[in-house]
Every structure is written in structure tokens, then in C-alpha cells.
Chains A and B, each alone.
Chain A
Amino acid sequence: MSAKGKTRIGTRTGLKDNANEKMTSPPPTEKNDGKGRSWIAAGVLIAVVAAAVAISAREFVAMWEDPPIYPGPGITEQFMLSSIAPELAGSAADTEVYVLDGDSPGGTLLILGGTHPNEPASSLTAITIIENAVVNEGRLLVIPRANHSAFTCTDPQEGAPQTYVIETPGGDRLFRYGSRATNPIDQWPDPVIYVGSSGQALAGAEVRNLNRSYPGDSGGYLTEKLAAAILDLIRTENVDLAIDLHEASPEYPVINAIVAHENALPLAVEAALFLEFEGIQIGVEASPINLRGLSHREWGDATDTLALLIESTNPAQGRLRGAINSELILEGADPYYIRAAGQGLLYVPFSDAGHPIEERVGRHLDTIAMLTEIYSSQHGDQPIRISGLPTLSDLSVRGLGTYLDPSIRETDHSPP
């Protein structure tokens, strides 16, 4: 960020100096001396600009690199989404799919993290699953960076950092804080009004929002191609239960909630009742039939999958927050939200404790565990049984970093 700033200032000053020199160019008799000085000045200027461009270009291009994910003991296969959707090959929207095959057959679960890369608990939950889970019965597919392109930029004018760091026993680990929408460098320009593949008319910028692009179009915008590929995956893998992980700002009414397609509503309701019994308050909202383009609507309409979306609480994406930094992203504590809570403006409790990433990832993990447990009890012939996942209380005691320790994954595959 600072390097980019320097680039601009350097360039502007340089141009101005250059112009001044032209206007006040010395008389011909002093031509030689003057020309020598300006050659030196120009040389220095070019060198400075070149250095600044090189530094900022490196930083800019570095954003296209993915921080590593360390496959855990349960991973049996890994492929790129383009292997089933060739139109994504070579594009920034292509993304990894991790497969965890169980010892015995059963149902298939798809977990989608990183639909909106400015909602960090979403992809962190998916990564925690990839690095820790073992499937005993059934099959699990995990996409940790669903909108991969959106991880390569941040939202304009939000002042969000490009990365944040989680402390692990094996050292600090870097993660990317991305944008809500596909990077404009990969999909541009936006239309004035986006009439989605679902037929819903939306503001133009939503054309780059993966969760408005379903059911998608393999010949459409890049984000629509991605949406179509994810639906293809659900179809070709016969996904029985599909969960899209999100976060919401504390002033947004649908928060700490499961949003369920009507086919999945009984499952969501029952899971929420038992989660409450375990001390986790989670609401259930039926997916509105007239709100098109969203995962919980279009996945369920287009396929037999039980489509669900889960929301946790992320003040960093809200409107009432202070500065976005690693602390706000990971601790979820913000004085302005405490004040807003005091005035009854929020849909979740908000205290000094904030909503730390452990709580948010833990809620997602416990909700996924409960949904699969209830699903398995309702579909005895198609069970999905997963072990090795930390719970909300594990995370609260040991910290998320314990379960994302790269040194463990690099050396052996035993769970922490």
C-alpha cells in the first residue's frame, strides 16, 4: 500500500519538475551545463520511477499468489474446478477442490468457503476442515477459495489490509483478506444493470458477486462461468448436502443463522434446535423463493441437493466499524459496535469480548457437524460421518492457530 502511494507522489513531482525546467530553460550560452544537469535529473527520475514501479508491481503481482494450504490426513484427492469446467482453465476463477473419501460409502457433502473473501471465517473454516478432518463414512468435497479471483484484490475505499496473520505453534501464518466480488482485472466492465442468469435484475456491480450469479452460464461472465461450474460439480458428484459459508455484519438482520432452501428446511430447523441445546443460538430463515441468484435458492432449485447457507458475525465487513486491521479481523472487537449495541441497533449481542475468529469458525464447524449428524439420522442409508474436526469449545480453549499449524502438516499427519 505504501509503495503504491510513493509511486504516485514520485511520478507527480517528477512531471512538475520537468515542466518547470522546460519553462525556465537557461539561455543558449549556458546550454552545455544546463543540459548536463537535466540529463542527470532525468536519469535519477527514471531510476526512481522504475524502482517504484518495480516494487509496487511486485506487490501487486504477489496478490495473485495463493498462501499455501496444507492437506491433512483425510485428503484423498485434489483437482481443479476446470477439470470439470474447461472454460475456467487458465483463468483467475479456476480454483482447487479437495476431496475426502470415507472408508465406507454414504452421502456426499460439499462445503464452499470463500464465496466472499472479505468474510474470513468462511474460507478459514474450509481450510480447517481440509487440514484436520477425516471422513469415516460418505464423501466430502471442500472448496476453500470459491471466488479465487476475489482473493486477489480488496474492496476499493474500504482501507482493508491485503493479508492478516494467525499465530500458530509453528510460526505466523499469512492469509489473504479479499474482496466481496471478482477482481475487476479479471472481469470488466460491469453493466449498468445486471440481469442475472437467474433473471433477477441487480445493481451492475453484482455481476462480479458469485452469490448473485447462480445458476450461472458457462458462456457468460467469468463469475457466471464459475457459478455454473460449481453447479456442475454438485450435479456430477451427486452432492446430497451443500453448505455455503458466509459472514454478515452485526447490523444485518440475517446473522448467526442458517438460510435453508425449502427442501432443506426440516434439516436446518432440527439442527438449530439441537445446536441450541448445546449452547449455540442460531436462527433459521427459509430461502425466499423470489430472491434469485443465491446459492441456497438456485442450488436447491437446479439439483436434488439440500442447499444451505450459514452466517456468522464479522464486524470487519460492517458499516459502523473503525479501521479494518488484523486485530478487528481476528478479534472482532470494535468500540463503535459496542456503542451501537447499547443503542439497540444490532441483531447480535456485542460486548468487549467482540466476536473472535475462534467463535466464528467454531460456530461454522459445530453447525456443519450437527447438520451432517441430523442428515445421517434422517438418511440412514446415506450417512456422512466426519471426525477430527475441532469444536467451538476446542477452538476457544486452544485457539484456531493450533489447528492451522503448518509445521504439523509439513512433517506428519497426526492430528494436534
Chain B
Amino acid sequence: MRAFEQLYDRHCRLVYGLVFRIVQQAGSAEEIVQDVFLQLWRNAAQYDAARGPFLPWLLTMARNRAFDNLRLKSERQRRREDQTEEMPVICTVPQFEKQLDEKRRAARVRELMTGLQPQQKRAIELAYFEGLSHTEIAEKLKEPLGTVKSWIRNGLLRIREGLQATS
């Protein structure tokens, strides 16, 4: 129990922050977060560390559950590769990655997001937090599809470079 409590205390804000950002409703967000951590507890004994770090898996699961809650069915189908929550997809932490503590990492990612061109930031937010596709984002922003694609990709690569420079 103690190890689980500590793990919860360490990561609950991050998971809750993500879920709350997506569903925008405290009650639903708490239900989802409870669900996600219960799943972690129940699957902990079977979790295969060889598949990669568990935190990205936990965050992916939280994001999927939040979208489920909003009944974004089309979005969900699109991301069907991420649905295997019990057996998380393989995720690799890049060579350069060092362990920043959670507070510094959050500050760094926010700083890097703010440093992006506003359109890059907006497009990434629409994809990640709203679950929109390239086409949906292009329609929403009334911008050419190709432009939206490069905003998202270039924005993400800048964040990657920024994280690399930090470590």
C-alpha cells in the first residue's frame, strides 16, 4: 500500500491535470483518475517493465479514458492502436533523457510550449487535449491542411529539442 500511496501522491496531480484539461469537469475527472490508478494497481503485478516506462502508459490511458468520457468515438477509433491498455504499447525514452524532477519537467514543458509560435501551440493543443485530427484542426482554424501538419510536427520537434537541451 505504501509504495502505491507514494506513487499516487507523486503522479496524481499530473494525471488529474491532464484529465481535467480534457473533460473540464471536476467530478468526471476524479472518476477517471480513480479508474486509471485502480487499473495501475490491479495490473501492477503483471506490468512488464520491458515494454518501457510506465508513466507514458499511465498518461496515455488517462487521455484515452478522458476522451471516452467525452464520447469522442471517431477520435477513439482513430487512435485504436492506443487501446491496448492492459498491454501498453512499447515506448522508448530517448538516450538524452535524464530524470528531471516532476516540478522542473512541468515548468520546462510549459515554457517550451509557450516558446512555440502561437499557431504551432494552438494546433498541438487541439490535437492533444481536444483530440482533433489534422483535417478537423485545419477546418477549425481555417488554414491549409499542409500548414497544420507542419505546425504540429515542427512544434513537437522543437519541444523535443528543448527537452534535449535541458538534459
Instruction: Please determine whether chains A and B interact with each other in the same assembly.
Output: no
Which residue numbers of B lie inside 8 Å of A, CB to CB? none
Which residue numbers of A lie inside 8 Å of B, CB to CB? none
